[in-house]
Structure 1
Amino acid sequence: MKRTFVALAVLQGLALPAAAATQQQPQADEVERIVVTGVRQRLEQNGTLADAIMKTEVIGMMQIENHNAVNLTEAIDTSPGVRVSNECSMCGVKRIMLNGMKGEQTTILVDGLPVHTMISGFYAVDAIPTTGIESIEVARGAGASLIAPEAIGGTVNVISLEPYENTLELDLAIDGEGCQKMGLMGGAISDDGMTRATVVAQYDDRDQVDNSGNGVNESPHQSNRSFIGRVSHDIGNSDNLVLRVANLHSEVFGGPMLGEVFADGKAHSVGSVLSSFDGIDTDPQDLFVDGDVRNQYIGKAWEMTEWIETERNEVSLSWLHEFSADLNTTTSAVYADHTQDSFYEGFDYTAKDTMWYAESKTNYRFHPDHLLTFGADYRNEEMRSSSHAGAENPAYISDSFDYEVIGLFIQDNWQPTDDLEIALALRYDTLTVDFTDPMKPGVELEESILSPRADIRYHHSSRVTSRLSAGRGYRAPLSFFETDHGILDGSLGFEIDINDLERSNSVSYSLNYTGDRFTATASAAWTEVENLAVLDETDEGVPLLTQLDEKARVITTDIALGYSVSEDLQLNLTAEYYDYDDNFASSYAIAPIEERVMMSADWRIQQWELFAAASWIGSRDLTRYGYEGYNRVLADGSVDLSSEKTTQAPSYVSIDLRAAYALNDVFSVYAGVSNLLDYTQAGDEDTPLFFDDEGALDVGYIYGPLVGREIYAGIKLKF
C-alpha cells in the first residue's frame, strides 16, 4: 500500500532536514505543497518492500464511512468474496469467511503482522475499531501472505493510519435502537517530519434485539472499547521504527431480555442474572409457554444466558533498515494475550491465550528484474482454560494447548518483461501441537511441511490484466469454538481426535479491465481441503473435535463492475456465486450464502456525500447444511412433528442509505439507515431457537439477518 505524508507548507511551515526525502511541486493555484516521504513509504513506492502480486481488494476510509462501519466485520462484509457469518443468536459470535472457506481459516493481520491468537478470531472481532484505519486489504487464497501459511481462506490486513499533519478527529453517532459510538483519533507529526504518532480511542455499545417477541434476544447486547497507540520514527534516512500498543475490551450478554421477568425473577442486570445460577435445569417443555419457542420464555434467566467478557493486549515493534537502494531488512516482534471469562447457560469457561511472534525478512533486488524476499519467523502460543463446572466432572478434559511453529520462507519476484510479473514463493515449517491436559498424554502433531505458492500477473494491454495464483496451505485445528459452537456442551469435557493438519490446495484467476470510466474484474477460485476439522460427539455426548475422512471443495466465482458517470457519481455492481460440495457443506455450523448481488451508488454534490447500497441474497436449501429442528416440544419431552421448522431459506434484499454534509472544513454531519426494508428472520420468518429431534433446546437455526432497520445520525469534527 503506497502512502505519502502531505503537509501544506503555508499552514504547517515544516522545516525539513536535508536528510529527509522530499519533493516540492508548484501547483496551478500557486499553493506550494511539500510531500514528505518516510523511509517505509519511500521503499514501498519504489517497490523494494513488495512481497506479493496476488489480487487484493482494498477497502478505503470512504467505503468504511459509507457503510457506517463501527468495527472490522461491518467494514469488510460487502467486499467481493467476503462474508461475515453471525453464528449464534445468543452471543453474536462472528466469523470472517473468505472464498467460501470457514471463519477459522482466515488470518487477521495488523500492518502485516499476525497479532491475533488462535481464539481471538471468534470473540472480540467486533471490538476491532474502524477509527484510525487507513485501509483494509483482503487477499484471498491459501498462502496469500508469506507469513501466514495457515490462512487457507486468505488474509485480512488492517492498515493503520499515519498522520500527515497534526490533527484531532472526533466522531459521535447514535441510532434509534439504543446503539451509540464515539471515536477519537489524534495524530501528530514532528517539526522535522521524522516522527509520526497516532492515538485512537473508540467506544461503541449495542442493545439487545428481540424481533420475535419471545423474551429472548436474536442479537445480544455488546459493548466494546479500544485504546491504540502507534509511533513511527525515522532514524536518519535509512532506519524506521514502528511501535504499536493496543488494549481492547468486549462484553457480550445474550439470551433473556434485560428488564423482563422470568421464572427466577426480574433480569435487572447482567450481574443479577449470573448470580441467580442455581444449577437446577428446567425441563425443555417448561421453558416456553406451551413448549413452543415462538411463545414467551418462562424458564430461568440464567438458562438462556451467554455472557462473554474479553480482554486483549497487543504490542508490536518493527525495525526497518535500508542497507542500500536494493537491500533492506525488517525485523519484527509481537506479543499478544487474549483473556476470556464466560458463562454458557450454566457452564463457566475461562481461557488465557498468550502468543509470541518474531520475524526477520530481507528484500534484495539482486537484478533489475528480480526482487528476492527471504526470512524466518517463529510463533509460540500457549492457551490454558479452566472451568468450575468442568472440575466437578472427574472425566473432564480441558482444551488447553501449546502451539509452536518455526518457519523459513523465500520468494522471487521476477519481471521478465514490462507486461509479465511472476512471484514464486516457498515456505518450510516445523510445528508442534500438544493438547496439555493430563488425560491427553503425548504430542498430538509434530510435523514438517512445505507450502509453495505462485502468482502471475500479465498485462494484455494497458487496460486488460490477468492474475493467476496457485498455492498450498495448512492449518492446525486447535479450538472448539471453531466448529458448531462446541463450547456449549463443555461441562462434559472436550474430546480431541486431531491427527493431521488441515491441508489445502487453491487456484484462482482474475481478469481485469480498466477504462476511462468503466472497470470490470471477473474472478474464479477453487479450493480443496484435506482433513477438514468438524465437530462430532462421543457415545456419551461429549463434544469431539475430529476431522473429515474425505476431501472438501469450494468453488467461488464473482464479477465486480464499476462505472464513473461523472467525476462526482460512481456506480458499482458485484455478483457472486459459491459452490460447496457436500463434504464442505456438512462442516458448516451456519448455512453460508450461495448467491449474492450487491449494487451501490456514491454521489458527491458540493458539500454533500450521498451513498446508497442494495444487497440481494439468494434462497438456499438448508438440508444441505444439516438443518433440522422443531418449534415445539410436547409434555412427554418428544418434539411436535407438525412444528417442523423450514428447511428453505428465502431470498431477501437489504438496502442501506447514507447522507453526509460538510458545513465547513471542521464540522460535518451525517445520517442514514441500515436495512431500510426491516427484513429479519425472526420478525418475518421464524426465531433461531429450536428443539432438535431429541427435544433438546438449541439457538443456532440461523439463515437470515437478525437485526432490523437501524436509523442513525452523527457528527464529525476535525481540527
Structure 2
Amino acid sequence: MKKLIIPILTLISSAAFSQQKPTDSTTEKRIDEVIIVASSRTDQKIENSPQKVEVLGKEDMQEESGIKPMGIASILGDISGVQIQQTSPVSGNSNVRIQGLDGRYTQILRDGMPLFDGFSGGLGVLNIPPLDLQQIELIKGSASTLYGGGAIGGLVNMISRKPTSRQELTALANYSTLDEKNLNFFAAKKFSIFGYTFFAGGTSQNAQDVNKDGFSDVPKLNSVNIHPRLFFYPSPNSTVTLGWSGSFDQNLGGDMLVIKGNPDQNHQYFEENKTRRNTYEFVFQQKFSDHSKLEMKNSWSDFKRKFSSNENFLDANQQNYFSELSFIKPMNKMIWVLGADFQGNKFSPENFQNFQIPAFENNSFGLFLQNTLKLQKTTIESGIRNDFTKNFGSFFLPQVALIHHFNENWAARAGVGLGYKIPNALAPQIIDYPLENLLPINIQTTKAEKSVGYNLEFNYKKTFSGEEDGEKNSIFINQAFFLTQINNPVIANYDSNGNVYFRNEAEPVVSKGFDTYVKATLDEWELYLGYTFTIAENKYLSENQFIPLTPKNRFAMTALKEFKTWKAGIEASYTGKQHRLDYTETPGYLFAAAMISKDFGEHFTLVLNCENILDFRQSRKEALFTGSMLNPTFRPLWAPIDGRVVNFSVKFKL
C-alpha cells in the first residue's frame, strides 16, 4: 500500500506550521526538528522556512524501503499536487508532474546537483532505492532562482545518507505477486578522520501480462544499483566527500511471445532498453568560527542508453556536468548566500538506424545572491539570479518568499518567483513519442520558456489533551493556493510526414488550484482527509484548453493504528475524471490499500502490503492498444495497469 506506515509528519514538525500533507500517505510521527539540508541552502528548520519545502525524512525512507524497495516513485506520488505518470506500458517509463504541469518542468536533483535532464531524464531516474536516502526535499512551484533553469513546476532533491558514529548494517529482501524480487544492502560508519557509506541493490522482475491482451503490462527488468561514498574530515569543521554511483538496467517489453523467446510471423513487436548511468561527485565543505560556510560541489554523470525494437535501434550517450561554489554568511538577523555555478549536458548519438537529432550541447553559467531576514514573527527570503546560456541568451530570475506566525496557532506563507526552461526535444513529455519521429530544436527560431509562479497558504494547529494521562492529541488544517504561468511554451506538433517538431506558442500554459487537508491524532489514531483541486490549461488553444491526463479533483483519506509491535492501516483515494488526448473523458476511479507490519525486537521487521485492493485497471475500461499485434499503437495511461499487487518484505537491521 502507499505508505500506510510512513511517518510523514516530517512534513509538519511538531513545533511548526509547515508543509502540505501528502495526499495518499498515512501515518505521521512527530519529530521535534526537521532541517532542510540542501534545497534552501541555509540548513534552516522547516517550520521557519519562507520557501515552501516539503520533506520526507529518514523514517519515511526506512519505512518505504520495506514497501517499495526499488525506487521512490510511489512515495513521491503520495504527496499532494504531485502526479507520477507512467508514459509507456511497454518500457514502464514514468515522470514526475507537479501541480498539473508536464514532467519536463520538474527538476530532479541528487544531493543538490541537477544531473537528470533531457535524454538522461527518462528511464530509471526514479529507480533510486529509498534505503540509500536520508530524505527527499520537494518544492512545488518555481525554484529556478535556487538552481537555475528547469525548476518551473518544482524541484525534487534526493539526499543521500551520511555515516554516523554508530555502525549501520541493513539487509532487505522483498517479493511481490508480480514476481518482483528485490535484495538491498546498506552499511555505514563514521570514524575519527574518515567515514563511509555503501549501498548495493538488485531487482529482478519477470514480464507480466495482467490483462491478457498479449502485451506486457509490466516489462521484464533486471537492475543493479551500487553507491559507495567516502568521507574525510581534515578538521572538525571541514568535510571532503568522494562518491560514485552506478546504475545498470535492462528492460524488455512488448509481445509476450517475443519476450519468452517464441516470436513468429504474427508476433514480432518488442522494445528493449539497456541503460548505464555512472555518476562521480566531489564535495568540499568548510565551516568557520562565525558560523559561515564555504562549499564547493562538482559532479559528472555519463548516461548511455541502447534502445532496440523490431523496427529500429539507437545507441546514444549524454554527459551531465555541474560545478558550484557558494559562501553562506550569517550576519545579525540575516543570512547571506553568494554563489556561482556552471552546468550543462552534451548529447551524442553513436549508432542508430532511424534517428534525426544530431549531437548538441546546452550549458549555462549562473550567479546568485540570496538573503534571509529573520524578524520576531516574520522571516523573509529574497534572491536574485542571472543565468547566461550558450544558445538562448541570459535570464534574470528574482524571487521573494515569506512566512509569518500570527500566534502559536496560526501562520501564513507566500512567495513569487520567475523561472525558465531551455527547450530540449529529448526532455520527458506527457506521452512517449517514437524516437525516430523526433526532430531537433531549431535554436534560430525557438525561444526558451519563461514562467512566473505564486503560492499562498494558511495553517492552523491545535494541541489538546487526550483521554489517557499525558497523551497529546492534535489537529492540523492547511489551506494552500498556487498559480504558475508559462510564457512562450514549447509544444510538440506533427508535420505532414508524421514527424514531431517543437515550436513556441503565442499564449501561455497556466496551472492553478488549491490543496486542502485536515490531519488529526486522536487517542493513538492517525487520521487524514485531503482534497486537491487543479485547473491546468493550454491557453494557446481556442477550445479544449485542458492539459490532458490531469485530474481536476482528487480526494484521499487514511487511518492508522499502532498496537505495540504491530502497525495496521487502510487508505483510500479517489482520482477524478481526466481528459484523454482525443478530448474524451476518463472515468474517475477509487484506489484502496491496506498493510500490516510486525517488529521483532530492534532487528527484524516483517511487512505485508496490498496495493489496489479493488483491482482497478485502465484495461477494464478500454483496450490499452489499437492496431495489430505486429504494429500496435498504445494509448496514453491515466490509471494503474498492473492491478492488485501484494508484497512481503523482511528487513534485518543491526
Q: Quick check: TM above 0.5? A: yes
The counterpart of 1:300, out of the listed 261, 267, 285, is 267
Q: Is the contact made by 2:538 and 2:547 (CA closer than 8 Å) also made in structure 1?
A: no
The counterpart of 2:479, out of the listed 522, 529, 535, is 522
- 2:646 alignment partner in structure 1: 711
Larger of the two Rg values belongs to structure = 1
Pick which of 72-81 and 531-540 moved more.
531-540
Cα offset for 1:208? Answer: 2.6
The counterpart of 1:318, out of the listed 262, 283, 301, is 283
Q: C-alpha offsets along residues 101-127 of structure 1, whole Å, 9 cap, x if unaligned?
A: 111111111222223243222111242
- 1:667 alignment partner in structure 2: 604
Q: Is the contact made by 1:181 and 1:202 (CA closer than 8 Å) also made in structure 2?
A: yes
Structure 2 CA distance for aligned equivalents of residues 189 and 314 of structure 1: 23
- 2:592 alignment partner in structure 1: 655
Q: How do 1:319-338 and structure 2 match up within 5 A? A: 319-338=284-303
Cα offset for 1:320? Answer: 1.0
Distance 1:618 1:315, change over 3 A: same
- Residue 147 of structure 2 aligns to a residue in which SS? coil
Counterpart AA for 1:575: Y
Q: How do 1:449-460 and structure 2 match up within 5 A? A: 449-460=395-406
Q: Is the contact made by 1:142 and 1:471 (CA closer than 8 Å) also made in structure 2?
A: yes
- Residue 657 of structure 1 aligns to a residue in which SS? strand
Structure 2 CA distance for aligned equivalents of residues 476 and 244 of structure 1: 29
Unaligned runs of 5+ in 1: 4-39, 261-265, 277-297, 391-395, 433-444, 628-646
Cα offset for 1:601? Answer: 2.3
Q: C-alpha offsets along residues 437-478 of structure 1, whole Å, 9 cap, x if unaligned?
A: xxxxxxxx3301101111111111122211101001001111
Q: C-alpha offsets along residues 317-362 of structure 1, whole Å, 9 cap, x if unaligned?
A: 1111123324211111111111110024512112100122100011
The counterpart of 2:353, out of the listed 368, 389, 398, is 389
> Percent same amino acid among aligned pairs?
18
- Residue 120 of structure 1 aligns to a residue in which SS? helix
Q: Is the contact made by 2:392 and 2:422 (CA closer than 8 Å) also made in structure 1?
A: no
The counterpart of 1:504, out of the listed 425, 430, 451, is 451
Structure 2 CA distance for aligned equivalents of residues 651 and 310 of structure 1: 35
- 1:182 alignment partner in structure 2: 183
Structure 1 CA distance for aligned equivalents of residues 347 and 450 of structure 2: 23
Q: How do 1:96-135 and structure 2 match up within 5 A? A: 96-135=96-135
Counterpart AA for 2:266: G
Distance 1:556 1:338, change over 3 A: farther
- 1:578 alignment partner in structure 2: 534
Distance 1:238 1:493, change over 3 A: closer
Cα offset for 1:313? Answer: 0.9
The counterpart of 2:305, out of the listed 306, 315, 340, is 340
Structure 2 CA distance for aligned equivalents of residues 710 and 486 of structure 1: 25
The counterpart of 1:552, out of the listed 509, 522, 525, is 509
Structure 1 CA distance for aligned equivalents of residues 310 and 457 of structure 2: 47
Q: Is the contact made by 2:425 and 2:441 (CA closer than 8 Å) also made in structure 1?
A: no
TM-score (norm: length of structure 2):
0.86
Pick which of 596-605 and 470-479 moved more.
596-605
Q: How do 1:85-100 and structure 2 match up within 5 A? A: 85-100=85-100
Q: C-alpha offsets along residues 478-525 of structure 1, whole Å, 9 cap, x if unaligned?
A: 1335235565151x5624345100111110111122222111221111
Distance 1:149 1:466, change over 3 A: farther
Structure 2 CA distance for aligned equivalents of residues 449 and 62 of structure 1: 39
Structure 2 CA distance for aligned equivalents of residues 138 and 584 of structure 1: 29
Distance 1:362 1:689, change over 3 A: same
Distance 1:584 1:59, change over 3 A: farther
Counterpart AA for 2:483: W
Q: How do 1:158-307 and structure 2 match up within 5 A? A: 158-164=158-164, 165-190=166-191, 192=192, 194-257=193-256, 260=257, 267-269=259-261, 299-301=266-268, 304-307=269-272
Q: C-alpha offsets along residues 520-547 of structure 1, whole Å, 9 cap, x if unaligned?
A: 2211110000122222122222221223
- 2:467 alignment partner in structure 1: none
- 1:439 alignment partner in structure 2: none
Structure 2 CA distance for aligned equivalents of residues 137 and 617 of structure 1: 25
Higher helix share: 1
Distance 1:481 1:407, change over 3 A: closer
Q: Is the contact made by 1:484 and 1:589 (CA closer than 8 Å) also made in structure 2?
A: no
- Residue 518 of structure 2 aligns to a residue in which SS? strand
- 1:423 alignment partner in structure 2: 381
Residue 334 of structure 2 corresponds to residue 370 of structure 1: yes
- 1:467 alignment partner in structure 2: 413
Cα offset for 1:50? Answer: 12
Cα offset for 1:548? Answer: 2.1
Q: Is the contact made by 1:75 and 1:130 (CA closer than 8 Å) also made in structure 2?
A: no
Distance 1:99 1:45, change over 3 A: closer
- Residue 480 of structure 1 aligns to a residue in which SS? coil
TM-score (norm: length of structure 1):
0.78
Cα offset for 1:428? Answer: 0.3
Q: Is the contact made by 2:145 and 2:384 (CA closer than 8 Å) also made in structure 1?
A: no
Counterpart AA for 1:618: G
- Residue 266 of structure 2 aligns to a residue in which SS? coil
Residue 364 of structure 2 corresponds to residue 400 of structure 1: no
Q: Is the contact made by 1:408 and 1:428 (CA closer than 8 Å) also made in structure 2?
A: yes
Q: Is the contact made by 1:51 and 1:413 (CA closer than 8 Å) also made in structure 2?
A: no
Q: Is the contact made by 2:118 and 2:427 (CA closer than 8 Å) also made in structure 1?
A: no
Structure 2 CA distance for aligned equivalents of residues 706 and 588 of structure 1: 24
Counterpart AA for 2:556: M
The counterpart of 2:50, out of the listed 43, 48, 53, is 53
Structure 2 CA distance for aligned equivalents of residues 533 and 189 of structure 1: 48
Cα offset for 1:572? Answer: 2.0
- Residue 75 of structure 1 aligns to a residue in which SS? helix
How many aligned residue pairs are there?
601
Cα offset for 1:227? Answer: 0.6
Distance 1:560 1:235, change over 3 A: farther
Cα offset for 1:316? Answer: 1.3
Counterpart AA for 2:566: W
Residue 553 of structure 2 corresponds to residue 595 of structure 1: yes
The counterpart of 2:562, out of the listed 604, 613, 634, is 604
- Residue 131 of structure 2 aligns to a residue in which SS? coil
Distance 1:528 1:223, change over 3 A: same
Aligned residues: CA RMSD:
2.9
Counterpart AA for 1:601: A
- 1:541 alignment partner in structure 2: 498
- 1:614 alignment partner in structure 2: 572
Distance 1:267 1:365, change over 3 A: closer
Q: C-alpha offsets along residues 653-699 of structure 1, whole Å, 9 cap, x if unaligned?
A: 111212111112212211111111111011x211221259xx98421
Distance 1:474 1:180, change over 3 A: same
Cα offset for 1:405? Answer: 0.4
The counterpart of 1:412, out of the listed 364, 371, 381, is 371
Q: How do 1:681-696 and structure 2 match up within 5 A? A: 681-682=618-619, 684-691=620-627
Q: How do 1:58-77 and structure 2 match up within 5 A? A: 58-64=55-61, 65=63, 68-70=67-69, 71-77=71-77
Q: C-alpha offsets along residues 543-595 of structure 1, whole Å, 9 cap, x if unaligned?
A: 212232211101031123211113x4322222111101244897999612222
Structure 2 CA distance for aligned equivalents of residues 228 and 53 of structure 1: 33
Distance 1:650 1:493, change over 3 A: closer
Structure 1 CA distance for aligned equivalents of residues 365 and 345 of structure 2: 12
- 1:280 alignment partner in structure 2: none
- 2:392 alignment partner in structure 1: 446
